Amino acid sequence: MFDPYKVLSVSRKASQREIKSAYRKLARSHHPDVNGCPEANAQFARITEAYKILSDPKTRALYDRGQYLRSEAAVDRARAIAFQARVNRIVDELIEKDRQEARARQQAVSVTTSFFLSTFAAALTQPPVFSLGILGSIVLLMLFAYGLWYLIKSLKLCFERYTYSPHFPSVIRLVELPSQPFTRKAALTFLACGYLFALAAGSAIGKWADGTVWLVFERGSILSVFILPPIAVMLVDGMRKLSNKLEQW
């Protein structure tokens, strides 16, 4: 027997907010565009019908009194079409939100990883960046300026998405739990420790390997340690964005 409460896994005393939250969670995982299961269409239809019943207080009251007939859903065709369109819009928004969050996570991982690895590589090799001549040095400095701006902007965006500044509890006002997973202090500590470790490890290994078979070229100025990482971050993250756009095509 069809029971909308069991379909949405909510109690009979569930509030409209709990019903809506349960529906969104189930719709996100059972939508035919996301779930490749052969029964996804049927499961999504049951979830949608259950939400249709419980989201309308009048229809829910009829069902609770045992007076609701499922065949009534087919009577009002226009209402069903309008409701389905609204459901599709909600699901599309949820899917798009998940995609945006996935892209944001990819950017955070891409920026931090390329920043640490490029710092390590630059400290290890310390290439003579200013042996490129006047024109080459000017181009390099321009790339560094743009790369530094790009790095700061990307890190700022990551901090806004994934960090928060803790608030001290107060007896006057309630403090809501933050949606971000990390404190700003913890993120800054991680970033600083990762950068210093990459810098120290690259410098130590480069100094040990200098002049040996492991590092056959001569190391240049230590300025490359500060100039090259922002450029590397800009190039790596730019290639990631280009790859994502090509996949969407």
> What is the band of 234 on the pLDDT scale with cuts at 50, 70, 90?
very high
Count of structural domains within the chain:
2
Q: What is the DSSP letter of 173?
A: S
Answer yes or no: is 87 within a domain: no
Is 180 in the same domain as 137? yes
Is 128 in the same domain as 196? yes
Q: Which domain holds residue 156?
A: 100-248
Answer yes or no: is 90 within a domain: no
pLDDT digits (tens, 9 = 90+) for 43-68: 888 888 888 888 888 888 888 887 76
CA distance 117 to 225: 11
Residue 163 near residue 81 (C-beta atoms within 8 A): no
Answer yes or no: is 92 within a domain: no
Is 215 in the same domain as 119? yes
- CATH number of the domain residue 44 falls in: 1.10.287.110
Q: How far is CA 56 from CA 3, 19, 31, 42, 205, in A?
A: 15, 11, 22, 22, 67
Residue 146's Cα: distance from chain center in Å?
24
Question: What count of residues does the chain have?
Answer: 249
Q: Which of 41, 75, 109 is the last residue of a domain?
A: 75
For 173: left if phi > 0, alpha if psi spans -120 to 50, otherwise beta; the answer is: beta
Residue 220 near residue 129 (C-beta atoms within 8 A): yes
> What is the band of 40 on the pLDDT scale with cuts at 50, 70, 90?
confident
Answer yes or no: is 35 within a domain: yes
Q: Where are the alpha helices (DSSP H) in the chain?
A: 4-8, 16-30, 40-55, 57-64, 77-125, 133-162, 184-209, 224-248
pLDDT digits (tens, 9 = 90+) for 195-220: 999 999 988 888 777 655 455 555 66
Instruction: State mean pLDDT over 15-24.
Output: 89
Is 121 in the same domain as 215? yes
pLDDT digits (tens, 9 = 90+) for 147-183: 999 999 998 888 888 887 776 555 555 556 666 777 8
pLDDT value, residue 235 = 92
Answer yes or no: is 40 within a domain: yes
Is 64 in the same domain as 149? no
Structure tokens at 145: 């300026």
Is 106 in the same domain as 223? yes
Residue 1 near residue 47 (C-beta atoms within 8 A): no
Answer yes or no: is 44 within a domain: yes
